[in-house]
Structure 1
Amino acid sequence: MSSVALQIAPHIAFYGDDFTGATDALGTATRAGLRTLLFLSVPDEARMHRVGELDCVGIAGAARSMSPEEMRAELAPVSRWFESLGASVLHYKCCSTFDSAPEVGSIGVAVDVLRPAVSQHWVAVVGGQPELRRYCVFGNLFAAAGHGGEVQRIDRHPTMSRHPVTPMYEADLRQHLALQGLDGLRSLAYPAYAEGAEAVHTSIEAMVSERASGVLFDVARQEDLATLGEALSLSCRFGQSMLVVGPSSVLQAFASQHATPIATLSRVAPAQGSVLVLAGSLSPVTAKQVAAATSYEKVWLDPVALAAAEPAHLDTVAAQLCGLLAAGHNVLACTASPATGVDAGLSARALAHAGGALLARVLGATPVRRVGVAGGDTSSHAVQALDAWGLSYIAALSSGAPLCRVHSDEPTLDGIELMLKGGQMGDDDVFERLVHGTR
């Protein structure tokens, strides 16, 4: 065992396949009572010694938007580092909607690269995150359509079935993941939890003995997670380690066995100074949030010009945003207007990269202490463009929209309060809460 593993000995290590998901996992683990820190890349040993002892450690990445070749290059050093930590649970944190495809963000590729880091040969896949109204029932995934919206089967979901990069055409996660190379998955349906953790563990052992490559676990109710966590923990006895794929409910399941939840949730104080939000999400949920953001000067960015990432154009837009911020305005910069939207042929990845470059320019020129970014890909590339090395959790602005503290060796960035949220996450007034705080 390496000196890093001896020093922090975390029980859980996770990789978030985009930055919004990674910060959701960070918040989930922290609220569950686990001492948790999220790194923005694999840290060196000196950094690990400086941060001290942790129960849970994460890496924020962008694998969700990558090709298989890019994913292998991204995840190979993560796999080696996770193996050196000696954690008993390695969690590949994907979105609770499981949107992925063989050619983009393949969960099968992630499992192939990360599996050598653990001792168990089979993979656990946890479907559903009830607190976000995402449910897996008899192997099929369901999700609410926006805040308070109707729960729909994922292949009929008004947004996820038409996702611009990874549309969900299949609700049965066994079939969906088989297309990505994860064939041979068996399914454990949620009624089995009523029999208790020992019985569930016995069922798991039987499936594995029959050469199942993995087991897909339904999650229909919040109370299912404690039983599931206990059953899976039995598979980690005697120094065994395992790979678990799924949303932040994975952390809820295991934390129920190893930590005491924080009794009270922290409130978010009103912002000190101007707030900047970059909205790169095209979802109807984010569109409602933008419409409800009455405390901001809204700047409608030209997505085609922005995606071209010409330095002169980025400098011009950054100067416009900096001028508004310096004048005391809160600024909401959007990559699509209600009237024009975004050309379907425009590269979402190029737009996200350019958004990150724009954010870095603004924060490098103007002191802003509270920032929000909407959109999974936009958040990933925006934070990667900053000279920061980690994030810690402050509080929740709403479900799926945590507020985090930026850790950086650069004084102008260190301590910035940052909200990252996916397109489907957050209440309608989440941008207003970023300005005015929570009650």
Structure 2
Amino acid sequence: MSDGPAYGFYGDDFTGATDTLAHLARAGLRTMLFFQPPTDAQLDAAGPLDAIGVASAARAMAPPAMKPALMRAGARFAELGVRILHYKVCSTFDSSPALGSIGAAVSTLRGFFPNPLVPVIGGQPGLQRYCAFGNLFAAGSSTGGGEAPPVLRIDRHPTMSRHPATPMLEADLRLHLQDQGLPGMGLIDWRHYTSTSGRLDAQVNGHIESACPAVLFDVLDDAHLAPIGRLLAERSAGVPLLAVGPSSVAQAWTMATRSADSSVPIASPAAALQVQRSSGPVFVFAGSLSPTTSRQIDAAHSYSRVEIDPAQVDAGSLDRYLDDIVTLLRSGKNVLTFTSRAFDQTSNRRDDTTRACAALVRRVVMSMTLRRICIAGGDTSSFAVQALGGWGLSYIGAIAEGVAMCRLHADAEELDGIEIALKGGQMGGIDFFERLLDESARRTTDKPNL
């Protein structure tokens, strides 16, 4: 690695950004995730870094609101000499022309990373997300009995096809993204990975010569990431490159750039040590309405529960909820606060409700000393972590595939060092919230970066 960070990533939400942080850290890269483009003082505090990230709420923003934040981040990444900027999107690619537009992000960031190749990596097998011939597939819910869950086309997925803000109604990612400003995308299907590197390069060059705005790469297996990683490393060596996709972009990069004799093995959640029991009560806020999170809430037997009706959230009700939550926590009870399952997230009050819930999380944390918290839900996590007022996260260990335990870095003493897990709605097993509490959760052999 050079003196500066070669790898940069910009997360369109906080949960996904921590997943990328985890993959890079487990590969032995010194990595820090910031909440804004880092200042020189924050970089000095972090120490030497191989990779840096910025987490955002872009997935929940309209393009006009996305652009100024992306401009600031793109300029800062370029100033720091980043060779590859990974625009990190959800592995299900849920987005739309009006909300979290991936095309709008590409058009803004390309000015800072002018490589003619813009690769879009279309799957993350570790999360059971697959891209075949340009079409995205994702695992559904387990059928029980130890059987593997069915894998469904994303536009037929029972959760993602009905996402309250950005339902996935088209499985072909080229068609999905053309409505967001990326018409005529090229495709490298999985069969090209078995050919020679020269033939793969020729296919990529052909798409570039055809002036494709981006090139989609199939991913059906982790082995497919190795040739993609080689392309990323080689193509970014001369001209800085913008890549789009889930954390599989980081996986591909580390496969190609880590030295073969590296003394730091790539760790995975499956090969992990146990997480120590939390030193105090754990506070969980679940804003996700996904069926997976609902089942996890039902299975969380070690918590006192506080149900919130988001449609009735106002300043007065926040005080009432706050009193109930803090009273339980001060008595030593773990508390799981969750939004009513009947809430209509398609309502016009959705953003106001999310911000109100984020404010509640901050008020709970500021009301007493907590050492471990968890926030479930992509948009909820993004707004809540921003509301807390810290400036960064470093990696501690893995709770489940796709969910990292992180350390919060903040100037405020009462916030600095809090252990925080951010969980996407569909992530984790049914016992996730129980595993969050004690040694039944699992931790990788990695030490925190800071």
Contact 1:336 1:342 in 2 (8 A): no
How far does residue 343 in structure 1 lie from its aligned partner after superposition? 6.3
What percent of counterpart residues are identical? 47
Contact 2:403 2:422 in 1 (8 A): yes
Instruction: Give distance in 2, aligned partners of 1:213 and 1:113.
Output: 13
Instruction: Give distance in 2, aligned partners of 1:149 and 1:351.
Output: 33
Instruction: Give distance in 1, aligned partners of 2:42 and 2:218.
Output: 38
Alpha carbons of structure 1 residues 346 and 333: separation in structure 2 relative to 1, 3 Å: farther
Which string of whole-angstrom CA distances, capped at 9 and with x for unpartnered residues, describes residues 254-286 of structure 1?
Answer: 011222543564431111110000000000010
Task: Give the equivalent residue in structure 1 for 2:384.
Answer: 382
Task: Give the equivalent residue in structure 2 for 1:294.
Answer: 301
Q: Which amino acid aligns with 1:111?
A: V
Alpha carbons of structure 1 residues 101 and 343: separation in structure 2 relative to 1, 3 Å: closer
What is the correspondence of 1:14-413 to structure 2 with a 5 Å cutoff? Answer: 14-146=9-141, 148-237=148-237, 239-259=238-258, 260=262, 261-263=265-267, 265-306=272-313, 310-337=314-341, 340-342=342-344, 344-345=346-347, 347-413=349-415
Instruction: Give distance in 2, aligned partners of 1:16 and 1:201.
Output: 28
Moved more, 207-216 or 409-418: 207-216
Q: Give the length in aligned residue pairs.
A: 428
Q: Which amino acid aligns with 2:377?
A: G
Instruction: Give distance in 1, aligned partners of 2:115 and 2:252.
Output: 18
Contact 2:165 2:345 in 1 (8 A): no
What is the SS of the residue equivalent to 1:328? coil
Gaps of 5+ in 2: 143-147, 443-450
Instruction: Give distance in 1, aligned partners of 2:431 and 2:33.
Output: 26
How far does residue 341 in structure 1 lie from its aligned partner after superposition? 4.4
How far does residue 312 in structure 1 lie from its aligned partner after superposition? 2.6
What is the correspondence of 1:415-430 to structure 2 with a 5 Å cutoff? Answer: 415-430=417-432
Alpha carbons of structure 1 residues 182 and 290: separation in structure 2 relative to 1, 3 Å: same
Instruction: Give distance in 1, aligned partners of 2:29 and 2:257.
Output: 8
How far does residue 195 in structure 1 lie from its aligned partner after superposition? 1.1
TM-score under structure 1 normalisation?
0.94
Instruction: Give distance in 2, aligned partners of 1:115 and 1:365.
Output: 43
Instruction: Give distance in 2, aligned partners of 1:257 and 1:51.
Output: 25
Contact 1:189 1:218 in 2 (8 A): yes
Task: Give the equivalent residue in structure 2 for 1:11.
Answer: 6
Instruction: Give distance in 1, aligned partners of 2:324 and 2:350.
Output: 23
Moved more, 345-354 or 359-368: 345-354
Which string of whole-angstrom CA distances, capped at 9 and with x for unpartnered residues, describes residues 332-356 of structure 1?
Answer: 001114xx44464253322221111
TM-score under structure 2 normalisation?
0.92
How far does residue 305 in structure 1 lie from its aligned partner after superposition? 1.7
Instruction: Give distance in 1, aligned partners of 2:291 and 2:406.
Output: 25
Which string of whole-angstrom CA distances, capped at 9 and with x for unpartnered residues, describes residues 76-120 of structure 1?
Answer: 101111111111110000000000000000000000111111130
Contact 1:120 1:243 in 2 (8 A): yes
